[in-house]
Chains A and B, each alone.
Chain A
């Protein structure tokens, strides 16, 4: 564990340390100087290396695995196949549902996607394992594959996704103005710089896993169930994460292979997926198709929205990308219908990528309303205000807070939207066609219960402990700020320890819930620790405050005194010395009183206990509006984003600097989604052919203009203890439709299939 140098982070100005201050990332110096050791950089005695052999067909049976050459290759310790790897127990899923099968084999005999793990070679060195893995010969009985959505039928209806009110189809048919179009998004990948991988080590029946993780307790539960050991016997360590974007919340097949190999060999095993395997070993964002039909009156007031969505899922796994999530709440409409199907294709099970559901959902509805605006000759921004939803149209509850109108106003002002030339293809700069587009975005506030340990030590320093994680979003920093403010100590006296399942438990870091959950828990634990310190100071005969006529004491800048100034003023260290205390520690949580131990366990190791965002009297969401300028070369069809102004409502910001950074990261990812990203499948082989960072296009610095973000949020007491709403997922939602709308404004061409590559415009 690297101890972060807080002095550097705090040097900008004195008030940075408070919640809401612009404290720089406390883990930044350790990361940029290489002192931060990531999970599988641990150096262990006797470490062995595993390399996977992956399926080269998309569907069929493995009929033979010839391991003889690999087994006799230099340095090889074991060649594991479906027949020789130890059989694991089935594990419950992330909702806590019990396993469908009693046993689990992470190596496949039945192939359902190209890249599926068939075998693994363990050797003394990584190079030996790579070379031996190439010697494993797999023979197949290949069967036809369904490679993408276009191969399938209409798919399987997901009844739970149906949202309906009024009579949408009839109202659409009767509406005087109608638009209806289909919008498609391709398979996309999280593309984290740090690959997936792990080190597994067994000591007796105790398992330690070093693995980048968005959810150490959830993954520890899976390992415990696979191997039939108590949860407490599994320690999962994830000090830093080099990007997750939704992909690192679950223990996966390759994780099971490494842990099983370590058990079988009695030696620690390191297994890291190579870059192409990072495109086939876990799911990216499912490819989606949506049809959005909007009927409106001639003033632009929406009468009906009819929405149909389809996403791909796997042959042997279910992923539902909720495509109607934004459609149902963004605009007021008296009639609404959304239904969704999934189509099984031969792919690894798709998974969560930044703003799953909301992101593609917004692409459909936010392009469709733009089309309606042009159909009616109404400014696209005005169109959105005409149909502003004053309450949640679906559940008919008031918003907890919705600063979307303010976001439209602030964004439009900063962008200069009023100077827009209304007609498409009417603005240019030399041979560049210039277009302006707007789109809104939203993400629900996901809430859960959290726990934290806060320790005040004899030297006056403070430790905060939690098994929650920091994948770059700033957990280390904001929890230090929260503890510092609550306890009244300088932030450089606070050390935060994260990413270890031995520490106070935490739920998943996903769905933009962690900051709200954990600042609440740290606030509670720190308050309890402070109460105990003050209580001792007033009651302990060794304390100089003993006998003082005061109900409480105040701590400021690490010094403790009575509120009215009578009596002494001491540093916390001096007081701890007088009290003869080594430490004061308090584990605080926000879990409801009366939760059973099993409910607590499930709260941290499943997502089943999370609170719905529409629970109680309010509907809780964060909101944003993106204003984008694009330049489209009139000859080449190349689209470059030249300006972005985004106004966002994430409620109260715990650290604006970090929030802006996350918003910008989401916006950049949205630019990539709009213009570049696409997993390209060879239809003959059902295989991704651009599974590497040269061919899977992500934006470079040169593709990204200066991005202006404006916070329009206000504290939302219904969303979290300290008033914040979600930050990390929000920024990407609405970026792709804003760009597509700007491209239409520039060119007069409506591109409804992402990404918007040059051949679609020439």
Chain B
């Protein structure tokens, strides 16, 4: 049997100490860790159960910001009245993620640590080469089945798509991750693969996520998350967009806009070029569609995922247009 030690941490301090041990992995909702352990990807020598630490599941929202404890359940945050009113895109992203059963178990901190669904990453027995799993071993996905793989932020080492929904909304609204000693902008917390595909997050041994903080804004209050996927539920995005919109008093000139993309990049992807092209412009369908194309600058496809380059700008545009209609 593959033995591992099980430690139950009763405090953040204890969890940090234990997390510094070599081969240690945190267990919160377990929806990713247990799954990856079953398919032979995760082989922790120590499992630190943080799910019993008190005080880490609070959801505190006012018009200035939301602070969400790392152990808050996805379903609780999704259904939180103030999150829905102040940060609709966050709630919508969570509702459209995973399944009801998973959302009831999975935590916000764990959600940020979710791993890719790349089928080659998940099957070590049949596909030994994976730079994310075994640095330097190569990438089995390149040249293989790539329909779900990324077109933005890829490298020769890895083209795996970041799978989550929540972080797309967090990136759009400049959320920060609280790691105790350090606080990181969420955009910097996630790492593109480059030559080090195994490093997905800027998190160091002994650090744990305790909370995320999302600044409030007019754009966050008027926001949405649009997820396009093969089936209507329990499915990862073919392309998704988190959009926030603030209009001038004239009701048609864009004062502030936030655009972030999911399902198409190796990390949660902020599309500032689209934002810059639209700020100060009138919101009309033609210019929105034209500006949305800018999100795909530098996109590289691997055959079967080519459609994402056409799809993603349409998802952005439709989400912006939808927000424009709900003035």
Taking Cβ atoms with an 8 Å cutoff, the residues of A that contact B are 56, 74-75, 114, 125, 127-128, 131, 134, 276, 431, 633, 635-638, 640, 675-676, 680, 682-685, 687, 689-690, 694-695, 697, 699-703, 757-759, 762
Contacts and interface: CB of A to CB of B under 8 A. Distances in A.
B232 A703 contact: yes
20 contacts: A125-B1, A128-B1, A635-B317, A636-B228, A636-B238, A680-B145, A685-B126, A687-B126, A689-B120, A689-B123, A689-B144, A695-B117, A697-B230, A697-B231, A700-B232, A700-B235, A701-B233, A702-B232, A703-B232, A758-B307
Contact of A684 (B117, B144, B230): B144
B298 interface: no
B228 A702 contact: no
A689 B2 contact: no
A167 to B, nearest CB: 43
Interface of B: 1-2, 40, 117, 119-120, 123, 125-127, 143-145, 147, 228-235, 238, 306-307, 310-311, 314-315, 317-318
A702 B233 contact: yes
Nearest to A633: B228
B230 A758 contact: yes
A642 to B, nearest CB: 11
Contacts of B1: 74-75, 125, 127-128, 131
A685 B129 CA distance: 13
Contact of B314 (A74, A75, A276, A636): A636
A49 to B, nearest CB: 12
A69 to B, nearest CB: 13
A635 B314 contact: yes
Given A127-B1, A695-B119, 7 more contacts: A134-B40, A638-B229, A682-B144, A689-B144, A700-B233, A759-B147, A759-B311
Nearest to B118: A689
A221 B231 CA distance: 42
10 closest A-B pairs by beta carbon, nearest first, are A759-B307, A702-B232, A702-B233, A635-B314, A700-B233, A689-B119, A636-B228, A703-B232, A131-B1, A56-B126
Contact of B117 (A637, A680, A685, A694): A694
Contact of A636 (B2, B119, B147, B311): B311
B310 A690 contact: no
A685 B120 CA distance: 12
A690 B306 CA distance: 19
A75 B144 CA distance: 38
A636 B318 CA distance: 10
A699 B119 CA distance: 20
B274 to A, nearest CB: 16
Contacts of B147: 680, 759
Contacts of B123: 276, 689
A457 to B, nearest CB: 44
B314 A640 contact: no
A689 B233 contact: no
SS of B interface (majority): loop
Nearest to A636: B228
A686 to B, nearest CB: 11
A684 B143 contact: yes
Contacts of B234: 694, 700
A131 B143 contact: no
A134 B2 CA distance: 10
Contacts of B40: 134
A518 to B, nearest CB: 37
A259 to B, nearest CB: 25
Contacts of B314: 635-636, 762
Contacts of B145: 680, 682, 689-690
A703 B233 contact: yes
B149 to A, nearest CB: 12
A680 B147 CA distance: 10
Contacts of A675: 230-231
A131 B126 CA distance: 16
A66 to B, nearest CB: 15
Contacts of A75: 1
Nearest to A638: B228
Contacts of B228: 633, 636, 638, 758
Interface centre among B1, B310, B318 (most CB of A within 10 A): B1
A139 to B, nearest CB: 14
Contacts of A702: 231-233
B232 A758 contact: no
Contact of B231 (A56, A680, A703): A703
Given A114-B126, A687-B126, A676 B230 contact: yes
A396 B120 CA distance: 54
A231 B213 CA distance: 69
A699 B231 contact: yes
A189 to B, nearest CB: 15
A640 B233 CA distance: 12
B253 to A, nearest CB: 24
Contacts of B311: 636-637, 758-759, 762
A309 to B, nearest CB: 27
Nearest to A687: B126
Contacts of B232: 640, 700, 702-703
Interface centre among B117, B119, B123, B127 (most CB of A within 10 A): B119
Contacts of B126: 56, 114, 685, 687
Interface centre among B145, B238, B317, B318 (most CB of A within 10 A): B145
Contacts of B310: 762
Contacts of A636: 228, 238, 311, 314-315, 318
Contacts of B230: 638, 675-676, 697, 757-758
A531 to B, nearest CB: 54
A685 B123 CA distance: 13
Nearest to A55: B126
A193 to B, nearest CB: 14
Contacts of A431: 318
Interface centre among A640, A680, A689 (most CB of B within 10 A): A689
A701 B199 CA distance: 37
B117 A676 contact: no
Contacts of A676: 230-231
B314 to A, nearest CB: 4
A120 to B, nearest CB: 15
Contacts of A697: 230-231, 235
Contacts of B143: 684
Contacts of A687: 126
A680 B143 CA distance: 14
B318 A690 contact: no
B43 to A, nearest CB: 10
A682 B144 CA distance: 6
Contacts of A685: 126-127, 144
Contact of B318 (A635, A700, A703): A635
Nearest to A126: B1
B125 A56 contact: yes
Contacts of A637: 311
A633 B228 CA distance: 10
A297 B181 CA distance: 81
A696 to B, nearest CB: 11
A43 B318 CA distance: 56
